[in-house]
Amino acid sequence: MKFASLAAAISLGVFAAPNRPPAPHRASLLTALPGQMVPVEGSTWTAPAVPGLYSIHVLSQDQLDSITVQAFVLVPFSQLHGEYLHGYRIGRYPARPLHGLAIYHPPAGFIEVTRANENTWVSEHFQLKQFLCKQASRYPKYLVLNERLIEKLEYLLGRVQAAGYRATTFTIMSGFRTPAYNRALGNVLYSRHTWGAAADIFIDEDHDGRMDDLNGDGRSDVRDADVLYNLFESAGVEGGMGKYRPTEGHGPFVHVDVRDHRARW
């Protein structure tokens, strides 16, 4: 799909294809620091100085399709005061990156999530609020969200739908975790969740808070997580993936993440 120049898109504003409305929630996520120049749909965009959401609407050259790039200008990491960012507790990232890997350096910045923008569609099937840390707090809240994670979840959801399972989205039991919240859970220091690069997911189309009965045995248990896990594995996905049995605190789920090597558990 070839899109018109970004400059034209910005100058003309929101596009609608003639006699054909855009596909529902046709969107993609972009994050950038204030003043950073980033590529967008074959052009370049300079992030404004003020953090927040900037929706960039781009029309295809044949005017038959459009996409909204949800561009979030980040609040820089340097604005942290101790463990807090504007009153929201982040905690502390490890002083040394794991094995010296760049993916374990502290994040460049944080998306500021407000009542006004939390419902933003960051892709066709996922909203910003689905990835928020579960720690109790007032607004604004802050999160880190890896764009590759969104792409991976969309790909996996497509595989699930193609296999014949009903799934309008994945329920994200745990997305981003602040280091403070992650530590309170007793999780590992270098959890990919704290970099916005992991999600614990399940399918919950009946909205009962637990994994749907995917194997048709009338129960929700680890065998339903097996269905997802095996389906994802057959897709040949890289990165990390693990399946978890239900406990008193949660039902079965599958963990997926984006990391620089393959890991399974």
Predicted local confidence at residue 61, as pLDDT: 79
Predicted local confidence at residue 260, as pLDDT: 86
Same domain, 20 and 78: no
Which two structure tokens, joined as six digits, stand for 92? 């502390």
Q: Model's pTM, two decimal places?
A: 0.89
Contact between 109 and 74 (Cβ < 8 Å): yes
Same domain, 8 and 78: no
Does 18 score more than 50 pLDDT?
Answer: no
Quote the domain boundaries for residue 186: 74-264
Predicted local confidence at residue 159, as pLDDT: 97
CATH code of the domain in which 150 resides: 3.30.1380
Question: Among the three residues 16, 49, 73, which one is the final residue of a domain in this structure?
Answer: 73
Question: Among the three residues 73, 105, 123, which one is the final residue of a domain in this structure?
Answer: 73
Binned at pLDDT 50, 70 and 90, residue 27 comes out as very high
Place of tokens 């942290």: 80
User: How many folded domains does the chain comprise?
Assistant: 2
Which is it for the CA torsion 53, 154, 225, 254, positive or negative?
negative
Binned at pLDDT 50, 70 and 90, residue 60 comes out as confident
d(CA 65, CA 1): 9
Same domain, 113 and 225: yes
Average pLDDT over residues 125-154: 97
Same domain, 171 and 199: yes
Same domain, 62 and 129: no
Same domain, 133 and 190: yes
Binned at pLDDT 50, 70 and 90, residue 176 comes out as very high
Average pLDDT over residues 248-257: 96
Q: In the chain, what percentage of residues exceed pLDDT 90?
A: 83
Q: What is the mean pLDDT of the chain?
A: 90
Question: Among the three residues 73, 89, 105, which one is the final residue of a domain in this structure?
Answer: 73
Neighbouring CB atoms inside 10 A of 199's CB total 29
Q: Which amino acid is at 85?
A: L
Considering only 6-20, 98-112, 199-213, which range has the smallest mean pLDDT?
6-20
Same domain, 61 and 101: no
Virtual CA dihedral for 106, 131, 87, 137, nearest 10 degrees?
-140
Same domain, 66 and 80: no
Does 15 score more than 60 pLDDT?
Answer: no
Same domain, 58 and 95: no
Same domain, 59 and 85: no
